[in-house]
């Protein structure tokens, strides 16, 4: 931040998400705007019995401004330090015939999330943009498949995600369950 970096995100690897290394994680999370582990990485850190909501809350208590837990075919769960929490389902529903390969979908989500956060400074907007990015990565083989997606196609998918949210009765609470 001293060199002008405005937004810091961290997508950890599973080998760094262990109880033995949690002291180091606790020391760096206060410098992290958005921490983006997968549900598998959360289980490695906290054990298999912890609820996603509880894990996200702990990560925010440890200092992350936003904890985003990637849930694979279940979408994402987001917790903010201010107490706002929400779950967003993926663009494609589980079992969809459009899903060809999951390789790179988590990384694509993180890329879209980072762009969304940098542009809007809003976790909900960022998560939606991450879901759009991940949706394109799922349509072909390999991590590079989604490169070069036309902006209009991405805008159309973002519109679909926004419309789905508006149709839900709890749209004012980010189409989610509050934690």
Tell me the domain boundaries of the chain: 9-168
Tell whether the model's pLDDT for residue 129 goes beyond 60. Answer: yes
User: What are the backbone dihedrals phi and psi of residue 18, each rounded to the nearest 5 degrees, phi first?
Assistant: -125, 155
- The reply to whether CATH 3.90.650.10 applies to domain 9-168 is no
**What pLDDT sits at residue 168?**
64
Q: List the structure tokens of 179.
A: 């934690």
The burial of 72, by beta-carbon neighbours within 10 Å (0-12 exposed, 13-18 middle, 19 or more buried), is given as middle
DSSP annotation of 85 reads E
Q: What b/e string do you get for 90-129 counting C-beta neighbours within 10 Å, with b at 16 or more?
A: bbbeeeeeebeeebbbbbbbbbbbbebbeeeeebbbbbbb
* 138 exposure class (CB count in 10 Å sphere: 0-12, 13-18, 19+): buried
CA distance linking residue 74 with residue 94, whole number of Å: 7
Angle at 119 between CA 115 and CA 122, to 5 degrees: 95
Asked if the model's pLDDT at residue 76 lies above 80, the reply is: yes
Q: Which two tokens stand for residue 29?
A: 């999370």
Q: What is the mean pLDDT of residues 63-84?
A: 96
pLDDT at 87: 95
Residue 140 is predicted with a pLDDT of: 85
User: Which pLDDT band holds residue 179 (cuts at 50, 70, 90)?
Assistant: very low
How confident is the model over 81-97, as a mean pLDDT? Answer: 85
Write down the pTM of the prediction: 0.87
Residue with the bigger pLDDT between 35 and 14: it is: 35
Sequence-separated (6 or more) residues with CB below 8 Å from residue 165: 88, 128, 171, 174, 175
């Amino acid at each position: 931040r001293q060199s002008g970096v405005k937004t810091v995100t961290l997508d950890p690897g599973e080998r760094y998400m262990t109880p033995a290394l949690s002291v180091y994680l606790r020391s760096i999370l206060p410098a992290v705007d958005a921490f983006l582990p997968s549900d598998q990485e959360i289980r490695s850190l906290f054990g298999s019995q912890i609820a996603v909501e509880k894990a996200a809350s702990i990560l925010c208590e440890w200092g992350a401004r936003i904890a985003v837990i990637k849930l694979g075919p279940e979408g994402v769960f987001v917790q903010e330090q201010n107490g706002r929490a929400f779950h967003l389902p993926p663009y494609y529903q589980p079992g969809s015939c459009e899903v060809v390969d999951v390789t790179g979908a988590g990384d694509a989500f993180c890329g879209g999330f980072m762009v969304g956060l940098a542009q809007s400074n809003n976790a909900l907007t960022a998560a939606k943009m991450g879901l759009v990015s991940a949706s394109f990565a799922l349509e072909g083989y390999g991590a590079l498949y989604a490169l070069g997606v036309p902006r209009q196609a991405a805008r159309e998918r973002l519109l679909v995600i926004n419309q789905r949210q508006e149709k839900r009765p709890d749209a004012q609470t980010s189409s989610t369950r509050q934690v």
